[in-house]
């Protein structure tokens, strides 16, 4: 039997094609999107403005299935972490971070990550597979359905969970499409952010394909150190990365800027010299820097920079005219902080075999 098409995760253009192939009128797309994304419908039966015949047909060829939630943990600071099961003993994690004026959902794009940044828990897990667009949008729907019932909402979505979004471009662009579409989540482009460790060729395509915001995981101001912390730097060194960033900034019709993420590792990348080098690298670039205090996890040797060191680092950037913020660590008591997302990954990259 043919596998049923999961209609979640199909952007408007692909749903149009789906209904066209069924010989249905184009307005079916908007009807069904409203049911799914605005009314929270989880089956075709409740969609009473679709004809009975169409509902029957959809039941046989399509599905709206969401993956199973294994656990939903609440941290003392309001952060919520969902562990979601994706078959074959793979689990991913999704995190909601409430703040005074917004609620950010941090979503995963892959089961694990093949890029093996040395300070990242996901990287340590190895890699299993890319998520499908319906598995990515399902994370937003699961959180949205829960939060709406509590009178809360998701105002921002960031691809900062497990995985490298720019190694799963198709599914990530389809998801972005739905996040921005008024018939689905209707978020503004400034409130959706793709975070990438610097897959340079994909960044050029991203600049031309979607209007969402970009964050770059820089973490070091020179190639020698970045080669160690973010190994993909060996393939796409900083000069190439900054050229791709400039291309992103110049593309598109609206003004853009880039958020550069910089994890603060005690005695590794947090000296005054590093700060000055970073300021020089970003001079003239439409950039904001976000310093992330390192979040430890069991397998790591790294330590978090001292608060005073982070302040000094931030001060040097400030004085060079670079807008800089320091991220407040959230959700620690449920292991939901940046870089702590581990899920459960059936590693196919054999990295863990190679390492020992």
Q: Which residues bind ligand SF4 (CB under 6 A)?
A: 113, 115-117, 120, 122-123, 163-164, 197, 217
Judged by beta carbon distances under 5 to 8 A according to partner kind, the member of ligand SAH, ligand SF4, none in contact with residue 116 is ligand SF4
Task: Say whether residue 196 binds ligand SAH (CB under 6 A).
Answer: yes
Q: Name the residue nearer to ligand SF4 (CB basis): 58 or 245.
A: 245
Judged by beta carbon distances under 5 to 8 A according to partner kind, the member of ligand SF4, ligand SAH, none in contact with residue 199 is none
Q: State yes or no: is 93 an active-site residue.
A: yes
Which residue bears the tokens 């397998």? 299
Query: What number of residues does the chain have?
Result: 356
| Distance between CA atoms of residues 34 and 259, nearest Å | 33
Q: State yes or no: is 245 an active-site residue.
A: no
Q: How many residues bind ligand SAH (CB under 6 A)?
A: 17
Task: Say whether residue 213 binds ligand SAH (CB under 6 A).
Answer: no
Candidate list 164, 174, 177, 335; residue touching ligand SAH; CB under 6 A: 164
Distance of closest approach, residue 61 Cβ to ligand SAH, in angstroms: 35
Q: Name the residue nearer to ligand SAH (CB basis): 6 or 175.
A: 175
Distance of closest approach, residue 216 Cβ to ligand SF4, in angstroms: 11
Distance of closest approach, residue 270 Cβ to ligand SAH, in angstroms: 13
Helix axes 133-149, 169-180, angle to 10 degrees: 30
| Distance between CA atoms of residues 220 and 251, nearest Å | 25
Q: Name the residue nearer to ligand SF4 (CB basis): 118 or 155.
A: 118
Question: Of residues 46, 88, 93, 113, which has the active-site annotation?
Answer: 93
| Distance between CA atoms of residues 337 and 253, nearest Å | 34
Nearest to 147 by CA among 92, 96, 76, 74: 96
Contacting residues for 311 by C-beta, under 8 A, at least 6 apart: none
Task: Say whether residue 160 binds ligand SAH (CB under 6 A).
Answer: yes
Distance of closest approach, residue 3 Cβ to ligand SAH, in angstroms: 29
Could you give the residue ranges of the DSSP H alpha helices within the chain? Answer: 12-21, 27-33, 52-61, 121-125, 133-149, 169-180, 200-209, 223-229, 238-250, 272-282, 307-319, 351-355
Candidate list 18, 44, 82, 119; residue touching ligand SAH; CB under 6 A: 119
CA 275 to chain centre: 27
Q: Name the residue nearer to ligand SF4 (CB basis): 191 or 226.
A: 226
What token pair was written down for 344?
Answer: 């459960």
Q: Taking a C-beta distance cutoff of 8 angstroms, is the pair 7, 18 a contact?
A: yes
Task: Say whether residue 294 binds ligand SAH (CB under 6 A).
Answer: yes
Q: Taking a C-beta distance cutoff of 8 angstroms, is the pair 249, 286 a contact?
A: yes
Distance of closest approach, residue 246 Cβ to ligand SAH, in angstroms: 19
Distance of closest approach, residue 71 Cβ to ligand SAH, in angstroms: 21
| Distance between CA atoms of residues 47 and 40, nearest Å | 11
Instruction: State the residues that interact with ligand SAH by CB under 6 A.
Output: 113, 119-121, 160, 164, 195-197, 217, 261, 263, 292, 294-295, 338-339
């Amino acid at each position: 039997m043919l596998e049923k098409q999961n209609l979640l995760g199909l952007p408007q253009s692909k749903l149009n094609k789906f209904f066209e192939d069924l010989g249905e009128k184009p307005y079916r797309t908007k009807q069904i999107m409203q049911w799914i994304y605005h009314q929270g419908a989880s089956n075709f039966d409740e969609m009473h403005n679709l004809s009975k015949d169409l509902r029957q047909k959809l039941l046989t060829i399509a599905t709206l299935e969401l993956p199973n939630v294994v656990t939903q943990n609440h941290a003392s600071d309001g952060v919520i972490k969902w562990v979601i099961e994706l078959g074959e003993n793979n689990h991913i994690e999704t995190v909601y971070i409430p703040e005074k004026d917004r609620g950010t959902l941090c979503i995963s794009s892959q089961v694990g990550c093949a890029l093996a940044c040395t300070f990242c828990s996901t990287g340590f897990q190895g890699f299993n597979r890319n998520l499908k667009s319906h598995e990515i949008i399902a994370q937003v729907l699961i959180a949205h359905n829960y939060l709406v019932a509590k009178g809360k909402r998701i105002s921002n979505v960031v691809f900062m969970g497990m995985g490298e979004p720019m190694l799963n471009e198709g599914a990530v662009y389809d998801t972005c499409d739905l996040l921005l579409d008024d018939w689905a989540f209707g978020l503004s482009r400034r409130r959706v952010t793709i975070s990438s460790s610097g897959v340079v060729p994909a960044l050029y395509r991203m600049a031309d394909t979607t209007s969402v915001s970009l964050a770059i995981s820089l973490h070091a101001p020179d190639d020698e150190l970045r080669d160690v912390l973010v190994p993909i730097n060996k393939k796409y060194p900083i000069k190439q990365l900054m050229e791709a960033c400039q291309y992103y900034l110049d593309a598109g019709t609206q003004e853009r800027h880039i958020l550069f993420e910089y994890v603060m590792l005690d005695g590794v990348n947090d000296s005054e010299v590093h700060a000055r080098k970073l300021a020089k690298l970003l001079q003239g670039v439409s950039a904001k820097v976000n310093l992330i205090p390192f979040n430890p996890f069991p397998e790591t040797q790294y330590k978090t920079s001292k608060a005073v060191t982070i302040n000094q680092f931030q001060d040097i950037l400030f004085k060079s005219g670079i807008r800089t913020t320091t991220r407040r660590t959230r959700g620690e008591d449920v292991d939901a902080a940046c870089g702590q997302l581990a899920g459960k990954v059936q590693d196919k990259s054999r990295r863990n075999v190679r390492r020992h």
